[in-house]
Structure 1
């Protein structure tokens, strides 16, 4: 079961998401909070007593503490917890800020229920899921960095990383050893100046190495 935690300042939204998540055969809503500060307090308690959520659905505009800061704080304190931003805003700056803070997904609040479920499952699997409406915002960010010298094989590996593939899956896809795949990924992260696979996936989408998911 994928354990999900909901953070939104509107009780109706929290209840609706909770009911939807609990109706999924592979999901369990293990908690909710009206703002990131209360969410962080509950996560700290869950870190001791359990169970910790696998995925947090995070609104971006809330009182007391904004969602971007909340995402960053969660990833700093609980790096194994994935966060999906759920908001009404699709501006490129807001998308970039959420993903740079560590979000592994970005959904608009008018997304279809299946889209929400897909984003949760993707985040739990270590992949990135972006609302289709966010693609233009990502394209607006293209070209913000100087493209480093990636070899053709590294570009191929990076494209697969952006699809959410693990090192094992990449190795199978390219008929190479898992160790070689891991080395390629490490070299790619170093060359493009990022520290996580999610950041590498975002970079690949920005630079046109991989299409938006």
Structure 2
């Protein structure tokens, strides 16, 4: 069986590089054909794996745009636990599958293979609440991936309410993550957190012309 050609997509270069490093030991089963930070895949890929880290758009919307690319065989959404309605929306928009970020690397490769075969599209292993796979801005400073995602959205200028919608968590959870972020990076105000984020690579490598807000 030939290796599955995989394109990795996210707005942050450190994130796609981290995904590649996480999955590199499985080369032979998967082949990396492109690392994209502009939401567009130029190479022919069997699977385009879209990492939703700090995306300013809804995950189903962004992954569906990738699915419309004629060079992509199947688009797969790689995200934190999202609601069944969002998963259903993504699948209805043409996305081939969903893989939770709580999935360890070996199970992630198995999930990619299953989705490529046309088997079970949703892969969300139970009993895992936190994951530290791959790489992300702020990891060396001690931020968890989820904390880094919240801080990235703050750095992009989103309000707590918008972050809660984008991250599919409660407003109280957003506030908890923010307090934790502030402690880790040694700030006490939002403006300080934004400045810290700008100085430490929390702005996307891909910058949209206009911040996209949900209506």
* TM-score (structure 2 length as normaliser): 0.49
Q: Which of structures 1 and 2 has the larger relative contact order (alpha carbons within 8 angstroms, sep 6+)?
A: 2
Q: Calculate the TM-score normalised by the size of structure 1.
A: 0.50
Structure ranking higher in helix proportion:
1
